[in-house]
Amino acid sequence: MTKTFDQWVAEAEAAAFSGWDFSFIDGRWWEPPCPWDYQALVTGMLKQATSLLDMGTGGGEFLAALGPHLPARTVATEAYAPNIDVARKTLEPWGVTVLGISPESMHAHPLQDAVYPLPLADRSVDLVINRHESFDAGEVARVLAPGGHFVTQQVGARDFEAINRRLGSPLPLAEWSLAGAQEQVQAAGLQVVQAEEALMTAGFKDVGALVYYLKAVPWQVEDFSVNRYRPALEALHREMSTEGPFLVQSHRFLIIAASAADAHANFELADDEGS
């Protein structure tokens, strides 16, 4: 039996969201896989790594999935306060140190290029991974050990922009794409060894899934509330009920970059590790 608009919304608003776990709306939305496989790429690179940093680990879900492959020295950063303890709990069984980063040092928009210091010593990490988290390329270059690698999958500025257009809200980012990010990485002295970008069709099957998503990802529509956007959401609900899913475009890009192999290695953490 199909639900009414109010039933979908009430259920979505009552549901919890924790860490970076969208299982509540499993099967009710989809994002196609990228043409590259970030997890497989990282898993392959872990074979060469004796130390790993995961930037912006969220609730630690992705890193935990790599558990058996993690090097003994694995650290993760997290700046969103509610997720620091979630990540610590998830990653404790794998011996991962989760470093809380001061929220003041975090960009208001987690997907934008950010300028914040990483709490790690120079040239101290073999592999820095970053899925859907902002980064300061200079900081990444600073902490990478000689011959180390940076692997990042980013959400581009065009991601899900159809939602903003339908709701009549400003787009979340003016510009963030492979070209600009690659420039930043190269300007930091890293050598880009793989770069890919893709636009793919994603979709929401019911308005409850869309509302849940927009509450979990508050930077997509910054002033989102169901009341504020009720007419547009009701129109989308009617469309989804009769015509099928609301299709949107996802925008992703991948950069793998290497640091020069000839610098001097130093596998020490900064004094404030573990804060």
E strands, the chain, where? 29-30, 51-55, 73-78, 97-100, 125-131, 144-155, 191-204, 246-258
DSSP 45-96: HHTT-SEEEEES-TTSHHHHHTGGG--SEEEEEE-SHHHHHHHHHHHGGGTP
Query: In one letter, which amino acid is 9?
Result: V
DSSP summary character for residue 238:
H
- Taking CB under 6 A as the binding criterion, the range among 4-12, 57-65, 66-74, 170-178 that sits at the site for ligand SAM is 57-65
Q: The tokens of 41 are what?
A: 């790429």
Q: What are phi and psi of 149, to 5 degrees?
A: -130, 150
Question: Nearest approach, Cβ of 268 to ligand SAM (angstroms)?
Answer: 25
Nearer to ligand SAM, 42 or 137 (CB): 42
Q: Does 218 bind ligand SAM (CB under 6 A)?
A: yes
Query: In one letter, which amino acid is 93?
Result: P
Q: Which of 8, 80, 212, 224 binds ligand SAM (CB under 6 A)?
A: 80
Q: Does 61 bind ligand SAM (CB under 6 A)?
A: yes
- Taking CB under 6 A as the binding criterion, the range among 125-133, 174-182, 190-198, 250-258 that sits at the site for ligand SAM is 125-133
Q: How many residues sit close enough to ligand SAM to count as binding (CB under 6 A)?
A: 14
Which residue's C-beta sits nearest to ligand SAM?
58
Q: Does 213 bind ligand SAM (CB under 6 A)?
A: no
CB contact at 8 A, 27 and 49: no
Q: Does 126 bind ligand SAM (CB under 6 A)?
A: no
Q: Which of 88, 132, 142, 251 binds ligand SAM (CB under 6 A)?
A: 132
Q: Which of 51, 74, 83, 169 binds ligand SAM (CB under 6 A)?
A: 83
Binding mask 171-210 toward ligand SAM (x if CB under 6 A, else -) reads ----------------------------------------
DSSP summary character for residue 130:
E
- Taking CB under 6 A as the binding criterion, the range among 77-85, 113-121, 226-234, 263-271 that sits at the site for ligand SAM is 77-85
Residues 6+ apart with CB under 8 A from 57: 63, 76, 77, 78, 83, 87, 91, 98
Helices 5-14 and 230-243 pack at an angle, to 10 degrees, of 110
Residues at the site binding ligand SAM, with contacts judged by CB under 6 A: 20, 56-58, 61-62, 78, 80, 83, 110, 131-133, 218
